[in-house]
Structure 1
Amino acid sequence: MQKFICAALGLCLLCIWGCRESSIKSEVNRKKDSINKAVQQTARDIAGNFSDQSTLRFSSSSVDSFFVKYDTLRSFLDELNKFYTTRHYAFAWFTENGLTEQASHLYVRLENLPEEGLNIVLPYKRHLDSLINNGNTHALNQKTETELLLTALYFFFAQKVWGGLEESATQQVDWLMPRKKLSYSGLLDSILKPGNSSTTIQPVYRQYNLLKEYLKKYKALPPVNITISLPDKKPIRPGDTSTMIIKLRKKLFLLGDLTTPDTTSSIYDTTLLTAVKRFQRRHGMKDDGIAGGGMVRELNVPVQQRIEKIIVNMERNRWLPTDVRGRYLAVNIPEFVLHAYNDDSLLWNMNVVVGKDVNKTVIFAGTISQVVFSPYWNVPAGILKKEILPGIQKNPNYLEVHHMEKFGNGVRQKPGPWNSLGAVKFLFPNSHSIYLHDTPSKSLFRESKRAFSHGCIRVAEPKNLAMYMLRDDPNWTEEKITQAMASGKEQYVAVKNPMPVYITYFTAWVDRQGDLNFRDDIYNRDPQLANLLMKH
């Protein structure tokens, strides 16, 4: 049987760098290469080969007796039976010479579940320790018990690390996007088949392993937190001299923003300026190099809170599809940004405005199928009741002043520069009444925190998005799109190639430069998910 480069437990580490990056060795790329090499080395360290032998077998009746003793793992009975039926009950973790190298690697991964951001107790750890330490015994019954326990614990590992919380738990935190579906026995079985490339299977979204690497780094940070304060309550600016700048340097060095180990200077020089701007960008702040109150608050967030945020977002990444192909859009609500992708290549970004805390934008997926130029705004029932009807009671001319009219049993706003949806909207049918749209309130896009809407998503560059959505239709030139947006006449246009759009919620991620980003938990969803993880 052809030897595989990496088996199941090394897969996720081999597949995390899907970006199409330039081969030019800029400083950013050197950093990414360094991370990539570290990941590849880790993959090699845990690589091994499942046994492809077929002479060593055990009786199928051993499975039932195994689960009598290891009843806690009985939920994996079907997966285990499916796996061994395809192997005709041949050992996978043993050869004629004893335990395979891969068995040892699985044992190490099981011993180090906290590195996966999981606060769970490995079942039957004492039994596993004893069996592994006597793994080269010639007794068939002990080999069989070791074999079945390793496989059952592989499924336990796969479920917890690659699958995450059950779907009912994700719905408690209002995550309504479809969860990935993965057969772990099929995954393991396909890896064992001759001729299959392990790199074609990605059991977890690539961001998971990037966050995992930073989890190790943050857990290794010194327990003593460095508190930053502003001298005389004034922002620290380039050229300033202050003893607090020494603390600022030390903190930024620990967090990886300051690359030079010299942290003793009390002068705000160009080296510190670069570090401050990097920290600001990582936290979604204006990178002006001025360390003011907002930056100080971020600097003083305890490391343990950052660790919790990383763990929470590792869990969210367990739920995502592992291989989305083609063109699609993704909105990250806490980031206030819309991303356009082709496969895993980032094409462009666009700022957005999302729902206020009282009008939360829903986390779900849809498909954009229509572009509507010069749209009417059909006032939602909630806004009609809370805002429009009280306005009419105070001012009989309210509808006329706001360019509105009665429409059926409701109210709608006429197309025009005053329209709350602006000059164009983008529809993806859903039960949440959420869509992307233009807005006359352009100044809000200059804010660093942009949660101002009633739940829909306002886009900063509506014309560019319209051109992108209709790029496959030669009838819709830039000139025609400009005219339609200004026509004042509502017009629906079908998108020739409807595009998936994912409305997501991530408060920590690693960007294309390899930097760890944090954002405010604007809807206070992180603590609830953290509590669910503690319970499971």
Structure 2
Amino acid sequence: MARRPHPTAWSDTVYRKRVFGLFSWLLASALAVADEPSTSPSAPAPVLQALAGYCRMPASFDAPARERLQAFYGLNAWQPLWQPLTFDELLEQLQLLADDGLNPALYGTDALRQRLQTPPDEPLARECSDLLASHAYLLALQHLRFGQLQQSQHEPLWRSQQPLPATDQQRLLEIAAIGLARPEQAFDLARPMLEQYRNLRMAHAHLAAGAQVEWPSLPVGPTLRPDMTDGRVPVLRERLLAEGYLAAEGADEAYGELYTPALVTGVRAFQRAHGLQDDGLVGVGTLAELNASAQQRLGQVRINLERFRWFARDIEAQSLLVDITGGQLVFLRDYRPLWRTRTQVGKAARQTPAMKSVINRLTLNPTWTVPPTILREDKLPKIRRDPGYLDKHRMRVIDHQGNPLDPNTIDWSRPGGIMLRQAAGPENPLGRVAIRFPNPFSVYLHDTPSQYLFGRTPRAFSSGCVRVEGAMQLIDLLLSEDERARVTELLGRGETYEFRLSGRTPILMAYWTAEADGDGHVFFRPDIYGQDARLLKALDTAQRTAP
């Protein structure tokens, strides 16, 4: 019997014809019945064993992976797919997944390299190599395009319209087909095109290169203030130098333990880069951020790369992007920021939810119906203490049908079946306009009289809705020229009016705690809702799974 050609001679026409029959039968049969019950008399269990057992398919070769593989080979007439050159390029691209915060070992890079050294006469060597390569390839593209973890199981994002899974998978297979000739192109197409993702990926590669460096840690102590002398100042100086927040002239050790103006400038730069109030005071919050290790920061970047993979497809060319932790809103046109402003979001006890919807109406000169939680926790105690509270704040008592009730007839120690509604006006918490979109959380964007809070950082003060600085400028961007004139007229009347928009503006409200600019500078934000640790643990667990 003639010896089988060495696997590196995969392009040999005679060899391809020889293996085609066996390969097609083995792959088509095994994948087609992979999800059938093992008791089925038609299920060729030995064939499936040969595929998953003999070829030592990794643990990640689950039911969805089998379906992807079956569809992929079906589109390519069940022929072997990988040539020596593209096989090497695939290995290179899998290794580069480390820059995306993914673990290359998860995709069986070691097993694939070992396959290159497989003796040429080993049975099914070629078939197993092709299957392993295709599985690793499709799994990597899946993770790059949709995330390694299931978003719905970790940080659910409510959507007014759900994406079509079949369409998503069809696009993935189209990308995969492109990469058979040039894997690099497929990997690049699968990655989010978002500027935020590309910048953060570059920053991750830089951080990973220096992640073994240990930054100095500052001991706990009283708040450091300008011109204060403290034994921790030399450590602070060293810490700021480690990340480049202190200019060389500010590092003069002749100042010893004095908290100098140059150090204050460095601390303020650090605070701005970490979403803190840039007051130059080293208190509890700033100290906690200074004492985060390089490894912790690397982990924070990794989970935010995963977050961007999750919601990249939810960002549309013209849309609003609400950055929950960053306290800002961005109006995008052609995917680029056209206008941005500051926001105030929900406090930890009343969080602003992550969601995707479409803005469809404005409430002009809105009244404010007090939400049940705020009524119970905030308003009732104030009314009990001050019987004149309702009149002072122009609030009416109504029933659930909107009918007015006499507040003097209410037992305020145990009120039931009531709501409070505040009239439109300068004291109304919603300001002059509320921007509405369908969602089950009763959340919306709105103007606010509490303008002074926009100067603070972080800005988590609301009860879940998003307060917008410059809300009137925002609605100008949402309206046509004719609509702007009509809205101006209606606002001037001072009466509450529901105004339906003719245009469609998607809105995405998302949660992330790290981003980077085009120069690779990373900006971290406080994890205001305490979500980072859980997500990092889940991602670490998934990436430790043996291939």
**Given the superposition, is the C-alpha separation of residues 244 and 54 from structure 1 closer, same or farther in structure 2, using an over 3 Å criterion?**
farther
Structure-1 separation of matches of 2:470 and 2:311: 27
- Structure 1 partner of 2:416: none
Q: List per-residue Cα deviations over 1:211-232 (Å, max 9, x = no partner).
A: 3333333332453321347998
Among residues 89, 104, 109, which one is paired with 1:105 in the alignment? 89
2:235 paired with 1:252? no
Among residues 298, 319, 343, which one is paired with 1:328 in the alignment? 319
1:203 deviation in Å? Answer: 3.5
Q: List per-residue Cα deviations over 1:247-291 (Å, max 9, x = no partner).
A: 545433432445769956556999877755543321123556x36
Q: List per-residue Cα deviations over 1:307-329 (Å, max 9, x = no partner).
A: 22112212111212348443111
- Structure 2 partner of 1:504: 510
Preserved CA contact (<8 Å) 1:356 1:452 = yes
Q: Which amino acid aligns with 2:538?
A: L
Q: List per-residue Cα deviations over 1:472-495 (Å, max 9, x = no partner).
A: 132424xx7566445431122222
Structure-1 separation of matches of 2:249 and 2:482: 56
Q: Which amino acid aligns with 1:107?
A: L
1:152 deviation in Å? Answer: 0.9
2:146 paired with 1:160? no
**Given the superposition, is the C-alpha separation of residues 224 and 312 from structure 1 closer, same or farther in structure 2, using an over 3 Å criterion?**
same
How do 1:319-468 and structure 2 match up within 5 A? 319-322=310-313, 324-409=315-400, 410-468=419-477
- Structure 2 partner of 1:7: none
Structure 2: runs of 5 or more not aligned: 1-9, 31-49, 401-418, 543-547
Preserved CA contact (<8 Å) 1:163 1:319 = yes
1:346 deviation in Å? Answer: 1.0
Structure-1 separation of matches of 2:133 and 2:286: 48
How do 1:121-136 and structure 2 match up within 5 A? 122=106, 127-134=111-118
Q: List per-residue Cα deviations over 1:109-159 (Å, max 9, x = no partner).
A: 445665543468637666433212349x48783222211110011122233
1:56 deviation in Å? Answer: 3.3
**Given the superposition, is the C-alpha separation of residues 381 and 297 from structure 1 closer, same or farther in structure 2, using an over 3 Å criterion?**
closer
**Given the superposition, is the C-alpha separation of residues 443 and 484 from structure 1 closer, same or farther in structure 2, using an over 3 Å criterion?**
farther
Output the TM-score relative to the length of structure 1: 0.76
Structure-1 separation of matches of 2:12 and 2:444: 52
2:532 paired with 1:526? yes
1:103 deviation in Å? Answer: 1.5
Q: List per-residue Cα deviations over 1:228-247 (Å, max 9, x = no partner).
A: 4799854346xx99997665
- Structure 2 partner of 1:149: 132
Structure-1 separation of matches of 2:24 and 2:277: 63
SS of the equivalent of 1:321 reads helix
Among residues 56, 60, 66, which one is paired with 2:16 in the alignment? 56
- Structure 2 partner of 1:298: 289
Among residues 218, 221, 226, which one is paired with 2:207 in the alignment? 218
- Structure 2 partner of 1:80: 69
- Structure 2 partner of 1:317: 308
SS of the equivalent of 2:80 reads coil
Preserved CA contact (<8 Å) 2:321 2:509 = yes
Structure-1 separation of matches of 2:246 and 2:364: 48
Preserved CA contact (<8 Å) 1:243 1:266 = no
Q: Which amino acid aligns with 1:493?
A: F
1:390 deviation in Å? Answer: 4.7
SS of the equivalent of 1:313 reads helix
- Structure 2 partner of 1:235: 225
Structure 1: runs of 5 or more not aligned: 1-49
Preserved CA contact (<8 Å) 1:369 1:495 = yes
Aligned length: 473
Preserved CA contact (<8 Å) 2:176 2:186 = no
Moved more, 360-369 or 176-185: 176-185
Structure-2 separation of matches of 1:411 and 1:430: 22
Preserved CA contact (<8 Å) 1:246 1:264 = no
Output the TM-score relative to the length of structure 2: 0.75
Preserved CA contact (<8 Å) 2:345 2:462 = yes
Preserved CA contact (<8 Å) 2:250 2:262 = no
Structure-1 separation of matches of 2:300 and 2:123: 46
Q: Which amino acid aligns with 1:106?
A: L
**Given the superposition, is the C-alpha separation of residues 241 and 398 from structure 1 closer, same or farther in structure 2, using an over 3 Å criterion?**
closer
1:362 deviation in Å? Answer: 0.5
2:189 paired with 1:201? yes
Q: Which amino acid aligns with 1:407?
A: I
- Structure 1 partner of 2:500: 494
Structure-2 separation of matches of 1:261 and 1:215: 29
SS of the equivalent of 2:439 reads coil
Preserved CA contact (<8 Å) 1:83 1:186 = no
Larger radius of gyration: 2
